[in-house]
Amino acid sequence: MVKQSKTHRHRMESLIGKQNIDRIPVALWRHFPVDDQNPEALAKATSIFQDTFDFDLIKITPSSSFQIKDWGSEDVWRGSPEGTREYTQRVIQKPEDWLKIKANHPNKGCLAGQLRCASLLSKQYGSTTPVLQTVFSPLSQAKNLAGNDRLLTHIRQNPDFVLKGLEVISETTIRFIEELVKTKIDGIFYAVQHAQFPLLTIGEFNRFGRTFDLPVLSVAKPFWCNLLHIHGENIQFNQIQDYPAQIFNWHDQSTPPNLGQALDLIDGIVCGGLKQWDTLVHGDPEKVRREAHAAIEQTGGKRFILGTGCVTPITAPYGNILAARNVVES
């Protein structure tokens, strides 16, 4: 393990503050299936991963259902190499179901458990390494409640019902973030999944996505290290480039803009450069290093964090992850 010359916190604070840094930061994150069903187990698994690779930020990655389980969603672990669970029970079946969900209290149920997980990791790493909690956008949660096909059908056939549901989801998310601030973590990893042209038009995304994203993100302003993740292909980058986040992350190796182009569009930091499957899973350490150097060249090593466009698959070899961690030391 390479010995760090500064704390990761200091390096990240300097990067976000546009000051000189001793090296390019690097961060990978992954799911922890089965462990992600228990707050203490998830905290422990996340801790072991961090202690092994010594990344510059820690992303807490619970299962995607953690924000909606208290509404009755059910899922199961079936061995996905990405580490994700499969939904077995959708809460929303018919349009009227959007009117039935009520705001959840963040200090009860699964949300309370995730607050406990965040608190544990904040206490362990807060003085040395930024800790970020994953938060799914209201529209992303709606997708998990209904299934994507049903959600898109309801958006087009019963938009007012969906909007009512999104109001409740947004209220619950805002309450959760307000409680997250009290855990003294450093930011949220805010996942937006529908800013994609194959899924929604610009007008549809603005109405059902952006309208709810901005109030949620405004509550996260007390944090200094918020990371915005734009998921998917053919993304509507122009619709989210003004979102109030310090770091922007997307599948830059498979969908425009590339890292260099994005630096001209935003004032913040870009995170990416590595292909999660072709390189981290199917490649070797030399391919990881080549791809990392290409990303550094594309950005000039400025306002840049080396990472992937999404989660690191749980099948990624140890040596490939270590190569990504150590390449920035050279």
Q: Tell me the C-alpha distance between 71 and 100, whole Å.
A: 10
Residue 149 pLDDT: 98
- Note the pLDDT tens digit of each residue in 205-255: 999 999 999 999 999 999 999 999 999 999 999 999 999 999 999 999 999
Instruction: Using alpha carbons, select from 215, 219, 245 the residue that is nearest to residue 230.
Output: 245
Q: Tell me the C-alpha distance between 6 and 15, whole Å.
A: 13
User: Does position 52 have pLDDT exceeding 80, yes or no?
Assistant: yes
Per-residue pLDDT band for 6 (boundaries 50, 70, 90) equals: confident
Pairing of strands 247-250, 227-230: parallel
Residue 2 pLDDT: 38
- Note the pLDDT tens digit of each residue in 146-202: 999 999 999 999 999 999 999 999 999 999 999 999 999 999 999 999 999 999 999
- Note the pLDDT tens digit of each residue in 92-101: 999 999 999 9
Helix 285-299 vs helix 318-327: crossing angle, to nearest 10: 30
Residue 3 pLDDT: 40
CATH number of 13-327: 3.20.20.210
Q: Tell me the C-alpha distance between 289 and 284, whole Å.
A: 9
